[in-house]
Amino acid sequence: MTWNWDVAKDFLPELGRGLLITLEATALGSVLAFALGLVWAMAFRSPTRFVRWPVAAVVEFIRNTPLLVQLFFFYYVLPTWDIKFSALTTGVIALGLHYSTYTAEVYRAGIDGVPKGQWEAATALSLSRSRTWAAVILPQAIRRVVPALGNYVIAMLKDSPMLALIGVVDMLQKARAEGASSFQYIEPYTMVGIAFIVIAYPASLLMRALERRLGH
């Protein structure tokens, strides 16, 4: 089997369109994961066990269930209860919810890393609990965990091809369609692999550099 440059050239526009969908799913999933993860992390520190325990149970259940199972559940099971979303929306929800359980642990580590004296200083200044979180604790905690959060964005990017299994027309789905129509598989799949490397590798280098800089 030899490389066919004509097939590669013809597939390039389709690859670009699939790439946009891949990046959209990753970006939206990341926003959801970061927001929900912060909610879980703050719930872990709730003084009420009736908040902590259910949240901990939900987080552990999601974290220990494969992403693919969750994806199929949202796409195939929820419609039987009249809850239906588009394939892309379903993929974003599955990615965001799944990775929120990991970002929650990242946030929790960042919050635990804030010196105890910061809490005491906020108390001495008579700051309310919400003001303490917003103005004192979270800015310091989030700064500490930015590199780790970035690594999960990269992980989501690499998991995004799973969305093709529910019909999201991302790069992988484009490659499958191209291979089925031209019977040339090496070009589209190789190009998809290269596209992921081109995006993920520089991003991982950036996260490492950022981690070193914030660590000083």
Task: Give pLDDT tens digits for 45-66.
Answer: 888 889 899 999 999 999 999 9
How confident is the model at residue 40, as a pLDDT?
A: 95
User: At residue 68, what are phi and psi to the nearest 5 degrees?
Assistant: -65, -40
- The span from the CA of 98 to the CA of 71, in Å, is 9
Q: Choose among 22, 172, 179: nearest CA to 88.
A: 22
Check: pTM over 0.75? Answer yes or no. Answer: yes
Assess whether pLDDT exceeds 90 at residue 207.
Answer: no
Considering only residues 120 and 201, tell me which one the structure prediction assigns the higher pLDDT: 201
- The span from the CA of 169 to the CA of 164, in Å, is 6
How confident is the model at residue 214, as a pLDDT?
A: 66
Residues 140 and 119 sit within 8 Å (Cβ to Cβ): no
How confident is the model at residue 53, as a pLDDT?
A: 93
Q: Choose among 32, 19, 59: nearest CA to 153.
A: 32
Average pLDDT over residues 41-47: 88
Average pLDDT over residues 208-215: 72
pLDDT digits (tens, 9 = 90+) for 137-149: 888 888 888 888 9
pLDDT digits (tens, 9 = 90+) for 153-166: 999 999 999 999 99
Assess whether pLDDT exceeds 90 at residue 115.
Answer: no
Angle, CA of 75, 78 and 80, to the nearest 5°: 110
HSE-CB at 141 with a 13 A cutoff on CA atoms is 25
pLDDT digits (tens, 9 = 90+) for 164-176: 999 999 999 999 9
